[in-house]
A = this chain, B = another copy of it.
Amino acid sequence: MPIKVAVLFERRAHEKRVAMVPAVADKLAKLGCSISMLTGAGLGSMLPDSAYTSVEIAATEQHLLADADIVLAVQAPTEAEINLLRPGTLLLSFIYPHKEPALTRLLRDKQITCFAMEQVPRISRAQAMDALSSQAALAGYYAALMGATKLARILPMMTTAVGSIRPARCLVMGLGVAGLQALATARRLGAITEGYDVRPETKEQAESLGAKFVDTGVDARGEGGYARELTPEEKDNIAAVVTKHIQQADIVITTAAIPGRPSPKLISKAQVDGMKLGAVIIDLAAEGGGNCEYSVPGETIQQGQITIAAPLNVPSMLAEHASELYAKNLLNLLQLCINDGAITLNWDDEVLAKTVLTHAGRIMPEQIKAALDN
């Protein structure tokens, strides 16, 4: 009996990604899986049914899910979808339990073994499963492009018959995966780039991409590769140095997101009000409310002559590549779960133990269990 893998049709608004691409389906088939999806599930990522030669098209959601052993998704499934699953089914998806606690409780009660992709630990061995990073890299690239198209200036130096145009200045705040890609892309386009982060070890990375590092003297290294929350005094110290750099920038890209928590406000209204006319802020932390006090998640607003864009789900705007990378992340995680054509879960494996959200009727991470169990 092959392992039955079902790929969900992503139904959430503005979600164009899909959890499976043809090349990954071919590899799963070789591992002993039969893969099913609904018609058109890949179209948002420019993948017609015909491209998936190793995938069977299921007639209905009931057919797709009722006997699935493994379910793959980008966004958390709906309650209706979860209710169609058998106990013990493996689910791999982004979940973000704090957003919809009822969903996690349902996964628990339906005895789904759910691996929440946002929980993949940030250790070397799990890099190839780290969907947050793969999606963030794309988001960072896109943020620089968005900044460039919303600016009424060009980024590169241009030599013309009437003289030279000076290159634009781009400041990136938050130098994780997204921030570094934003720096790299703005630099490709010819901008003068500056990087800023509370973690001093990012200095070298920024400089290796041709950017100048804004040094504020505050060290805010936290756990798990994220910055810790800062004290009010530290924030003031940083603001004093950073304000100058914000206010001489043409484009500011902010990427300081802390999963499950409100995004820190890195740019105050007062700082925006002192920016250059025509400057643009691209706030990649909109899912958590944004890094700029003026940001309106999901919208692009004009504040005086400053443009502030706080786009949601940026990886979906690059759905073809986002789906490709995400599907490969899933494949690498699945390879830990499938041995000799059968599902076997080794809970001594750090990656599985840290990524699992619900299993056998329990919410597994202590902190989330404490918050959600009732």
> Which of A's residues lie within 8 Å of B, judged by CB?
16, 43, 45-48, 127-128, 130, 133-134, 137-138, 141-142, 145-146, 148-149, 151-154, 156, 158, 160-163, 165, 185, 188-190, 276-278, 305, 317-321, 324-325, 328-329, 332
B188 x A153 contact (CB < 8 A): no
CA distance A351 to B328 in the complex (A): 61
CA distance A138 to B160 in the complex (A): 11
Given known pairs A153-B320, A318-B152, A321-B152, the reply for A161 and B190 (CB within 8 Å) is no
CA distance A9 to B331 in the complex (A): 59
CA distance A46 to B46 in the complex (A): 39
Contact of A138 among B47, B154, B319, B324 (CB under 8 A): B154
A46 x B305 contact (CB < 8 A): yes
A161 x B133 contact (CB < 8 A): yes
Specify how many copies of this chain sit in the oligomer: 2
B152 x A45 contact (CB < 8 A): yes
CB distance from A137 to the nearest CB of B (A): 6
B319 x A162 contact (CB < 8 A): no
CA distance A137 to B157 in the complex (A): 12
With a CB–CB cut-off of 8 A, which chain B residues contact A16?
152
Contact of A152 among B48, B152, B317 (CB under 8 A): B317
CB distance from A38 to the nearest CB of B (A): 18
CA distance A295 to B278 in the complex (A): 30
A162 x B277 contact (CB < 8 A): no
Given known pairs A134-B162, A161-B128, the reply for A319 and B152 (CB within 8 Å) is yes
CB distance from A147 to the nearest CB of B (A): 10
B152 x A142 contact (CB < 8 A): no
B278 x A46 contact (CB < 8 A): yes
With a CB–CB cut-off of 8 A, which chain B residues contact A137?
158, 160
With a CB–CB cut-off of 8 A, which chain B residues contact A142?
149, 154
B152 x A320 contact (CB < 8 A): yes
CB distance from A148 to the nearest CB of B (A): 5
With a CB–CB cut-off of 8 A, which chain B residues contact A165?
321, 324-325
